[in-house]
Structure 1
Amino acid sequence: MEGVCPSPSIFTKSLLNTIPTDKSFSMILIVDDRRENILPLKKILELHRFSVDTAESGEEALRKVLSTPYSVIILDVQMPDMDGFEVANAIAGFSKTRDTSIIFLSAVNTEKRFITRGYTAGGVDYLTKPFDPDILVLKVKTLQKLYEQQQELRATQESLRAEVAVRKQAQQALAAQVAQLQTLLASLPQIAFTTTASGQLEYVNEHWFRYATTATAFPETHPDDDPWHHWETALANGTELVREVRLKNRDTGTFQYHLLRVLPIRQAEAVTRWIGTFTDIHAQKQTAELLEQEVALRTHELRLKNGELERTNHELQQFTWVVSHDLKEPLRKIQLLNDTIKAIYLKDNPEAITYLDRSIRSSARMTNLINDLLAYAQLSVPEPFHPTDLNVVVDELLADYDDVITRKGATVSVGSLPVIDSIPTRIRQVLQNLLGNALKFARPGVPPHINISAERIATKAIDGQPTPDGPFCRLVVQDNGIGFDQKFADQIFIIFKRLHNQSSYEGTGIGLAIAKKNIDKHNGLISARSRAGEGASFIVVLPVSQPLPMSAGSST
């Protein structure tokens, strides 16, 4: 080794003011065959926060260089076995040390030829001993900074290369997608096109040229359509455009209806292009116009028929009223005269009284029949719905039937009934009929027991599932009377249909038909379940709230 480095104690006072306190540096390698030269130099660099490694021979230095990256190598020139120049030449052959700077130190080889050889061997500086530690530290700092900048530059270059590769792959993928898209658009039966993000045409298929002369301009549209104002709005907002337009056919010179649809294609939330189609809807449009004309004609005819039907219905109601009134008047006279004859002239003739009673009963049945027919005919008259408390309706009916209930020893159980929208007089007719039938069709010698209950259900169905806030109400009137065969359940709601002979049970056979028509008017359902000799259950399903009536000018 050529000479000895000055002791660090000599320079401590001058160097303390330049020691960095908060910056770390990459590894520095000191190569010298004498430890007494390595230690003071190592101490000086460590005082300046450098990370320092050492090697006491050229071979050891090469081994360390192969495994550890160094930013600066301080290399002694005069060493046994392998001098500094040979070590530098070997290090220059390593690709991982291309950014490493070498500083030669020498106390003996100070001639110009040695200095030249040092620079030729790859050194960036050549210092002779004794050297100024401050100068050495400044040089190391500069080379250290240069090394770090080179590393950052290489990292940036690698990142840029990776980004370029990614972008190249993305461009290739995009080009493949565009080619695939254009192939797909070329196979469509519609006019198809794509534009840039700014709306400039970039691709059109062959169908385009039936309506446009060039691939750079849109087809001519009807002056009244003006879809391009909406197209500009869609471009500005990045939203889909759907419009009906009329395009001028180049062959016929006529305008034909097309449906224009333009969709934005986005990448990373930004619109990159637009894809559009013109679909020929001319035939459908003509068909729709013809259909609208036909609908208008049929609507007009229907209105005329409805008016005629309303007049006929009104005339029928008037006829029914007049006929009922005219029929009831002679019947009243027949009944009155029969009663008079019976009381005055035939009181001593039992056989004549028997025949006369039969005539009086027939007149009474005829009167009931006329009343029921009149009530049935009046069901076609529209009436408003009102909130109706079914509890109040049933209480009033029980009061009306109080004599019958007492005479037959009947018991009537009534559960909690809801408030529903109804026509009060009509719903009263229904419940009156069901309650009257339950009392009338009792088994001989068995007091009637009638149960009236209600519950909310989820659907308009006889067997709908119960639910506390369901939109429908299921009302059940159950009795223990004579019942009937279930196979006749649908027939009992037909007008004049009777399951029992008239001599045993009085009635006209219209009551349940009136109930059925009333329930239909309430948009509800009515059904019956029974077995002969085991009573019957009549089930009524009604909406809790009725839909609002439509105004005269509304349409469905």
Structure 2
Amino acid sequence: MMILIVDDKSENLIALSKTLESRGFQIDTAISGEEALKKVLKHPYDLIILDVQMPGMDGFEVAEAIGGYSKTADIPIIFLSAVNVSKEFITKGYASGGRDYLVKPFDTDILVLKIKTFIKLNQVQQSLQTEIEQRKLAESKKDEFISIASHELNTPLTSVKGYLQLAENSLGKQRLDQTKIFLERSKKQVDKLNHLVADLLDTTKIASGKIKFNYQHFELEPFMQNAIESIRHSYPGKQITTTGVSLSGISLLGDENRLEQVMLNYLSNAIKYAPDSNEVTVDVQLLPDKHLQVSVIDQGIGISHERQLQLFEKFYRVEENANRFQGLGMGLYICAEIIKRHQGTYGVQSETGKGSTFYFKIPINPVMADLN
């Protein structure tokens, strides 16, 4: 706890400093109001003990100035005075922002008790203020998410309705080829809707701790091939290249379906955020510490460093791309939770305009007791 003592008499500063230092407090001093203001703006203090009668700026003026700065307004101030002891001055002390007004001579034990009480109360106040601010962020994100979710869910629903109407008209005119095209387009929109709803359900399960994992041994090579082929089927014009070690004959203990969910999300993001590129690379490495590392590399728009730290947060969407690319902003959050449940790590390496590399690393044979 750092306390600033302000008094124009050096003997008072020395005496009170020694007394409080003997009680375990860290002490700084100022010989005038002007010096006190300079120090308060440069250093964080937990409490200020302020003499009232000083040449130049008196204690009341110093307190009012401290209260006028947002970064110092909440520092508790205790006034000390041997001269100005009337009710008028005590009232002025509280009005200028003081938490207490002690008259010299004072009981040292009472001063120490007041110091500890005011510092603790201030810490509680700051903690509550931080919690309130965090909740206001949380509420803002929730409101924004509801708006995004309504839009993202409504878009495929509207498309399905329109395509089915077109299919119905084509069928009535015996235009079966057109009917088939419209039904196929409807199916794609239903698949998109299903994916959005699945993300919503997964996020809800993660928040409530009810998401289930089925850990079993499975072969890595067919797992990787199935994920890549699924993306190739959905994006036939894209080229997905694999590099790294051969996975033939290697098995992994984990939830195959959940890890495939991670792969599909990484791959689909790599394609979505690289609209002007047809190439995506999947690099697979077996590390010396018996971990599997998978990296998905694109040649897309890239991500600024300040945005990278937020990508795996719930509901986060890069603002400048929010209107350009669809999504609820939950995919990478779900991926992060899946990887963490496999005792793994995840991350991104990227530079604006130069593509991105999303990766995860998980143990080949984790300890089962640590997975649950």
Provide TM-score, normalisation by structure 2: 0.46
Structure showing greater Rg:
1
For CA contacts below 8 A with separation 6 or more, give which structure has more relative contact order.
Answer: 2
Provide TM-score, normalisation by structure 1: 0.31
